[in-house]
Amino acid sequence: MEQYTDTKFHDRENITVAPDTHVIQASTKLGIITLEEAALPNVQMLVADRWKAILKDTEYVPIDIHTPMWLWSRGKFKIEL
């Protein structure tokens, strides 16, 4: 968000990844959640919590991974890991 506007957030660490369909699919592909977990009704909260835990004590915050995960999924995972 800061990249596209002149807004500066002082608490970016409190903005979760937006766990939409693409982020959920990418998280599943990366093993952050299982296929079974992806089918749960609370999958959005599960994905947000997992990314928060994974990125804790790193230079990144959850919202930082949203765009790469979204683009990777939207691109049908053409880039292999």
Q: How do the domains of the chain map onto residue ranges?
A: 12-74
Euclidean distance between the first and the last CA atom of the chain, given in angstroms as a whole number = 27
Q: What is the mean pLDDT of the chain?
A: 90
What ranges make up the beta strands (E) of the chain?
none
> Which residues are within 8 A (CB) of 63 and not within 5 positions of it... i.e. 6 or more apart?
1, 12, 15, 16, 17, 18
How many Cα atoms sit within 13 Å of 64 on the Cβ side? 14
**Predicted confidence (pLDDT) per residue in 19-37, tens digit:** 999 999 999 999 999 999 9
The two most distant CA atoms of the chain are separated, in Å, by 40
The Cα–Cα gap between 22 and 13 comes to 21
**pLDDT of amino acid 81:** 66
**pLDDT of amino acid 8:** 82
For the chain, what percent of residues have pLDDT higher than 90? Answer: 70
